Structure 1
C-alpha cells in the first residue's frame, strides 16, 4: 500500500488515508475511534529545550519521549538526530542556514512521522505540525 491510498469511510462517506502498512479496515476503525475521541493525539513538532518532536495536550506532562509511547529504540534515536539537525542549522532569528538542508529535513520529518504513526496506530493519531 502506498501512503497515498485512500478508502471511503462507510459511515461518513469521506475519504480516509490508508498509511503504508495498514489495512483499509484498520484505517476505517482508526477514523471511527478518532471521531469518537478514543485516540490519543500526538503533536509532532520541534521546539527549543525538548529533544523529541512528541507533545500531547491533556496528559501527564506535555512533553513526551519515545518510551512514553513504546516506540522502538531505533526510531527514538532517529527522532533525536532529526531534532539535533534542526537545533544546529535553524535559528529562531534567521531560520535555516541552508535551504537545501531544510528541504531534506522536511522529507525526513514526514518519514519519521509516518513511522511514529505506524508504531502508535492502535492507540493514537499523529498530528504533523512541524511543516507549517
Structure 2
C-alpha cells in the first residue's frame, strides 16, 4: 500500500500533470503542423519544383514480383516522406523557438519592472522601535 500512496502523491504533483497536458497538446499540435506541411506547404513547393509530389519520391531497391501466385511488394526508400518530415521538424522547431522567445521577453519585462518594497516583518519593526527607544 505504501507504494500506491507514493505513486499517487507523485502523479498528482503539478509537474506530472503539466507534463501530461503538454504531451497531449503536443500531439495535437503535431497533427496540425503535419497537416499544414502536407496540405499547405508541400503542394505549392511541388508545383514550383515542376509538379513533384513528394510522396512519390522513392528509390526502388527491388521491383514488385510474383512467385507461385504470391505477390511480393516492391522494396522502396521513401526519401520524399523523409523530406516532408524534415520540413515538419523545421516548422515545429521554429514555432517552439518563437514561443520560448516570447516567454523569455515577458520574463525580462517582469524582471525589469521595479518590485514594490515589501513591508518588513513585525519582529523587525519591533526591534527597530526598541533600538530607537534605547537611543533615547
TM-score (norm 2): 0.27
Task: Name the larger-Rg structure.
Answer: 2
TM-score (norm 1): 0.28
Give the structure with the larger helix fraction. 2
Give the structure with the larger strand fraction. 1
Higher relative contact order (CA 8 A, sep 6+): 1
